[in-house]
Amino acid sequence: MSLKERLNFSEEPVYLIDGTALLYRAFYARADLSRSDGFPTNAINTVMRVVMNLLKDENPRHVAFLMDGKGPTFRNEKYDLYKANRPAMPEPLAEQVEPVRRGVQLLGVKLLVSDGVEADDCICALAGRYKRERPVIILASDKDIKQCLDDRVVMVSQHGRNETIHTLDSFREAEGMEPATWPDFQAVIGDSADNIPGIPKIGPVTARKIFAATGPTLEELRDNMDKLPDKLREKVEPELDNVFVYRELTRMKTDCCDLPVDEFQVRQPDFDALNEFFEEYELRGLQRLLPEGTPVVSPESPKAADTRASASAKPSAGSGMQLSLFAEPESRKTEAPLEVTVVKSVSELPALGGEDVGLTFEDNGFFIGVNGGEYRFSGPAAELIPALEHASIIATPSVQDLMRDDQGWDYILSRQWFDLSLAAYLLDPEARNYTWARLRQSMFQDGRPEFADAARDLHPQSQGLAALAYMKSVRGQVEGADLTRLMRDLELPLIPVLVSMERAGISIDPDAFQAFLDDVSGQLDELTRSIIGFAGAEFNIRSSQQLAVVLFDDLGIKAGSKTSTGLRSTANQVLEKIRDQHPIVDAVLEFRMLEKLRSTYLEPMPKMVGDDGRLHTHFNQLSTATGRLSSSQPNLQNIPIRGVHGPRMRACFNAAPGNRLAAADYSQIELRVLAHFSKDPALIDAFRHDEDIHARTAALIHDKTLDKVTSDERRGAKTINFGLIYGMGVQKLARELHIKQTEAQEFTDRYFEKMATLKAYYDTIVKDAETHGFVTTLAGRRRLLPELHSRNNQLSAQARRQAVNTVIQGSAADIIKMAMVAAHKDRELKSLEARLILQVHDELIVEAPADAIELAGARLKEIMQDVAKLDVPLKVDLGLGKNWAEAH
């Protein structure tokens, strides 16, 4: 059923597509599709498929595909930290922008590229104009667009296979306000995605209380401030001027686009050009959907004959193209429904012992595929687990998700699992999206040759059988890439460790958090007064443009570099270079550092604590190309370690009453891995004798004895020792050491002259990667590096750095994962009631009763040091304490 029918629209809607959002979603949904010469085509493929499906399913008369243009918008002029936290568009995505724009137009869809405003502004402007004449359906996901919802304006958001329809009524019910006041609300709570601060310490719940007391707009809030309790008024009043600015950032500009609806009338696709387009980008699956003969045009069209000859002609107003030519193959349309046997009891399932089983979970039910049969069981996992206990292999999209939902899955042995997302990740660790929806799409829609047999023999609606088929299709690839051992012996056994740590969480001290927040807030207030005093006038410190005027015009400080848009930059690295020219610069840098501490850690984290008083992060096993773990909700990997605030931040994380923490941290593990692989005699000798590796390196480079090495020389050696692992170039080395680039080059040359084995090893890594197309780590992890052969020098240079970095950093990641698995299984730690609760980079933290913590810490250290045998010893620094700071 079409959207028009589902929404009961009697008139023909106009469809407005947020093309920029779709482009990004398409790019990150699948990163493994490219042309034979390496040109990325993942975003082109998905965007074209989405638009073709719209034309097929909706048969629309008016469609607009809107995209952001280049350069800043009016929002950057008002607040130039707007979206400053967003990374630049990845080059593989940027390369696909022009083809996407061309392809959409070949489909007969009008392309509109915004200038000075965002595509969202144009969408809302057009929706406001057209809703008086016809319904408007917006295909987008940005929450800001909700402010233009109306009786005749709806927004449809697609996330994988999940579709959400936002209507005026659903918005009112969910948010308790009118769409017109949505910008006021967003201005108060802020938006981290767009780098809009909002009012500190005010979240959605408190904001609703505020507006309930004062009225739903900022003007009413300003005029009725006396209706707020004193504590709330103290938070809101100082931020009122800022919050009006924030509203201008969140409010859509509805006077920016005034095109008549006829501009967006769908034209007949140019099939010849489309065929050439799909051929150019090798999109065979889309190419097969083009008609073999003359396309069918609906009777409403004034001229049905010879449509191919006039494919680019614009049809008359009111005509509607019948684009059934983009439909799926006839066999798929008429395919019989999938036969699923619904079982109420596991006793109705066939015997699963010794069988390969596919298992998925969807819509509160388990789908089990075995021996060609598809079964659905809606009972609890506790009943299903014993039936699967003796299965040979259980193929499932995510073992971690199952274990998160029910602890009973822990009883299935790790050797019985085949984790589909994990297999996909190990085969292509940069694909980014390993959801079951994405993996199924790769089988049924993407035309990938490895799934040809499975897709042909499998019903497209199957679940359990599809999981089983996916496993059988990729298992050979895993074996062929020598990844079986890594998956079986390390990554699968790691999953219950991660889930156990998530369940355990880490305790926090709310009083310590609040005291720290109060101090930081006070310092921010004091810094604000100082900065305004230096400037001699009020201004918005968070506005880079206003700050640039104060620094470079009013105070006469010599400007540094400019931004890509030609504005004078006030980025931190620019300010660092001019901090000695005026005390205001130091104050601004301090302000920014404290503001990040407040907004990233001190305010949000206490709100995320569970009922048990502990923070429960999610450990992500599939998120980095090097194999390192990451964490989210909240991210505990980036808690400050060093500096003046690092210890106090860590002191906010503590052990439960009666317990203590032991923190064990690998010492210079990446340099030890480098010594092991490179066989460099200087590194090996230094580590075997437990010498200061950086002083030893400095002594070698400068032809000195250890006792003659200066602190600056040691610092330079340390910078280059670590910098080479992370791909530091000469320019960055010069910046880090505050020396000229020529001096940095001389230093690098001398380093490699004295440590020739290292240079030969780096060259070998790159040469092997160029030959084989990938690098491998200590545990056999692979990373594909297709850009090594790119004609783009920047991309090929980056790939060379990634080759070295992946081998070293990835091997270090392997080692700490080995240690986690060993510690989790260790009987001595279990007997001491010690549990692993956190992993941060090269550090593991266990919590144990206070009277057992010394033994637990010593055992953890022993496990970590003995878990891998290298040519140099692994060294672990151990600390114990009531909180993380003491233990670290």
pLDDT digits (tens, 9 = 90+) for 52-103: 989 988 899 999 999 998 878 888 888 778 877 666 787 888 999 999 999 9
Lowest mean pLDDT among 512-516, 542-546, 617-621, 723-727: 723-727
Q: What integer is the mean pLDDT of 271-277? A: 92
Task: Write the CB contacts of 720 (distance below 8 Å, at least 6 apart in sequence).
Answer: 697, 728, 733, 747, 748, 751
**pLDDT band for position 310 (cuts 50, 70, 90):** very low
Q: What integer is the mean pLDDT of 506-516? A: 96
**pLDDT band for position 750 (cuts 50, 70, 90):** confident
Range 341-482 has CATH code 3.30.420: yes
Tokens of 412: 């299935």
Which helix (H) or strand (E) covers residue 619, if one does?
A: strand 618-620
Residue from 787, 810, 791 nearest 799 by CA: 787
User: How far is 114 from 198, CA to CA, in rounded Å?
Assistant: 27
**pLDDT band for position 790 (cuts 50, 70, 90):** low
Q: Do domains 178-252 and 511-615 have the same CATH topology?
A: no
How many residues does the structure list for the chain? 888
- Give CATH for domain 511-615: 1.20.1060.10
Which helix (H) or strand (E) covers residue 184, if one does?
A: helix 182-189
409 pLDDT higher than 50: yes
User: How far is 340 from 367, CA to CA, in rounded Å?
Assistant: 9
* pLDDT, position 431: 81
CATH architecture designation of domain 671-809: Orthogonal Bundle (1.10)
* pLDDT, position 317: 31
Task: Write the CB contacts of 227 (distance below 8 Å, at least 6 apart in sequence).
Answer: 213, 214
**pLDDT band for position 308 (cuts 50, 70, 90):** very low
Mean pLDDT of the chain: 87
> How do the domains of the chain map onto residue ranges?
1-175+260-328, 178-252, 341-482, 511-615, 671-809
User: How far is 879 from 661, CA to CA, in rounded Å?
Assistant: 8
Residue from 97, 82, 87, 77 nearest 27 by CA: 97
Q: What integer is the mean pLDDT of 730-743? A: 80
User: How far is 239 from 542, CA to CA, in rounded Å?
Assistant: 12
Residue from 263, 265, 322 nearest 62 by CA: 265
Q: Can you point out the beta strands (E) in 597-658?
A: 614-615, 618-620, 630-632, 653-654
At residue 879, φ and ψ (nearest 5 deg) are -140, 150
End-to-end CA distance of the chain, in Å? 60
Fold entry, domain 178-252: DNA polymerase; domain 1 (1.10.150)
**pLDDT band for position 464 (cuts 50, 70, 90):** very high
pLDDT digits (tens, 9 = 90+) for 625-655: 899 999 998 999 888 887 789 999 999 999 9
For residue 63, give the 3-state DSSP assignment: strand
Residue from 501, 53, 500 nearest 286 by CA: 53
* pLDDT, position 302: 32
**pLDDT band for position 388 (cuts 50, 70, 90):** very high
At residue 188, φ and ψ (nearest 5 deg) are -75, -45
CATH architecture designation of domain 1-175+260-328: 3-Layer(aba) Sandwich (3.40)
pLDDT digits (tens, 9 = 90+) for 771-785: 777 899 999 999 988
User: How far is 195 from 524, CA to CA, in rounded Å?
Assistant: 18
* pLDDT, position 618: 95
Q: What integer is the mean pLDDT of 285-303? A: 53
* pLDDT, position 42: 85
